[in-house]
Structure 1
């Protein structure tokens, strides 16, 4: 009967070389139980080659699954960001719609129409800001996937701050109108704030 070859065992340093890492990280793997090891009578630690191979197979499988989940999440998040940034155009549309009733009531009242002109100009500026964002998104679609994803995240974070700025802008204008005893214009701006908040919340709830 042919004698079996002795089982190959490796030192911690040899395992570190195989894994292309340092000794300390290998010792942490052993301490955590992820990498089985045996302690020789002289307190020397050895790792069976068979256990190292099993560890590599398991870790590779886990890494592959984590990578798949990450890419799946990233793709889902990217699609949500694209959709949310596209839906921003709904905000000025709703603001204009809300303002249209005021304009209809002001028919024939020239001074009232002039007051509302300022409001339309604000909404127009917001519209232009949104269009520029959407143009940037379109122009970056051909970029590297990770770079494109990062740019979308930046655009969304900027809009988190941008909406707060527009909310403050409308409230400031409402206070200014109120001080001039122009309560009609003050109410218009307060209504715009409510529309802005409602539509922004709707976009976030629908996508995130």
Structure 2
């Protein structure tokens, strides 16, 4: 099966690239010139992460939820698949690979509530800690990265256990770009940041332990 790169496809990929460029430019403007390479890259990732969660995934929640003035205050709507708004079209494009994102899948919506309202703001908070060079950021990096990894697992594991009926892997774009590449980003980078922050915390704890024994 072949899939042509139509206007929606190109626009969707371009939107993601634009967000990355914004994160990169933000780092150039905000970070001090003597910021380490690892903190520079971490800052770019955190701003990119926050923007993806708040703008793109926030739009997914907007199209997936219905707010009412009386109980029940919050219910599922028809999802992004029923809208012609620009960001809804983006999710319809991604839904070619994973159909759940054009619908109001309860599991996905539940995870996105945490992602949009907790993970996104936390990423901004950690980015601010990097600017202030606050070493406490390593604790929050561990928290955020653990949440990102758990969110990815709970997004795909339930689907895998029932034979992946919502996933479409018949095309190189859908499989290798949408499903593998874009989702791997939220696995590989959190794992690297976890490893780095664990090393920092472990070294400081061991140093404090040696100093305590000397005293």
Q: What is the TM-score with the length of structure 1 in the denominator?
A: 0.27
**Bigger Rg over Cα:** 1
> Could you state the TM-score of these two structures normalised by the residue count of structure 2?
0.26
